[in-house]
Amino acid sequence: RNHRLAALHAFFRYVQAEEPARMHQCQNILAIPLRKHARPTVGYLSKEELAAILAQPDLRTPQGRRDAVLLSVLYDAGARVQELVDLSVGDVRLDPPAQLRLLGKGRKMRAVPLMGNTVQLLRTHLQENQLDHPEQFEKPLFQNARHERLTRSGIRYILHKYVVLARSKCPSLNRTVSPHQLRHTKGMDLLQSGISLDMIRDFLGHVDAKTTQIYARANLEMKCKALEKISEPSSVQTIPSWQQNKGLLDWLRSL
């Protein structure tokens, strides 16, 4: 409905500009509101779920080591999957302060800091694949078996594979987990660590500040659910209801 109405609105904005005599009719049509939809809740992982996924790659194999770095960067940088695809070796800085340069929406560049464990994984990844030389800076950071840049679907497949493996140790992962959920998880972790929404917006590269508000709403919902699980302490006294006191009611009627 909203897609059709948006198309009609665009058409009648054009009509009123071309035919001012029809402006009143056009304004009546433009006044028809779009249907409101419930905002979807943010899908994010618990600390146990995230840890279970990150622990799955087999570090004894080259592919497993690559996947361990990929998953760590995906979460730690709060990167969109396309931002991860576009990463080149030259976008990585491992000297303090370690950071990653991401090309986000609207071709906007941003630098995000990296945690110590991710830095160590990246350093090993670059050395093992002989990518730690200036002449390799244009090469893709994450490559497939043919040394080509990984695709979006390839990254989704890698994540799905380890989610399936993690289910035996973490049954709550019996659902679809997308790369974007790791980004949401990073946003929630930043918020719960006391980072302001403005800083989270800059970190995640949100164009619209309203987008960042979803983390505040999700955090409030989580707190409310936690409070619902807490039983009232035994010392809390309830106020007696005079309507249920038969003796008091009989005495009042006798007055």
Catalytic residues: 80, 105, 180, 183, 206, 215
Handedness of CA 141, 85, 53, 76 (dihedral sign): positive
DSSP letter assigned to residue 55: T
- Structure tokens of 211? 């987008």
Q: Which of 194, 170, 140, 207 is nearest to 45 (CA)?
A: 170
Q: Which residues contact 144 (CB under 8 A, 6 or more apart)?
A: 150, 154
Q: Which of 117, 115, 87 is nearest to 102 (CA)?
A: 87
| β-sheet bridge partners, residue 102 | 110
DSSP letter for each residue of 120-159: HHHHHHHHHTT--SGGGTTSBSSB-TTSPBPPHHHHHHHH
At 92, give phi and psi (nearest 5°).
Answer: -105, 130
List the Cα angle 199/200/206 in 5-degree steps. Answer: 110
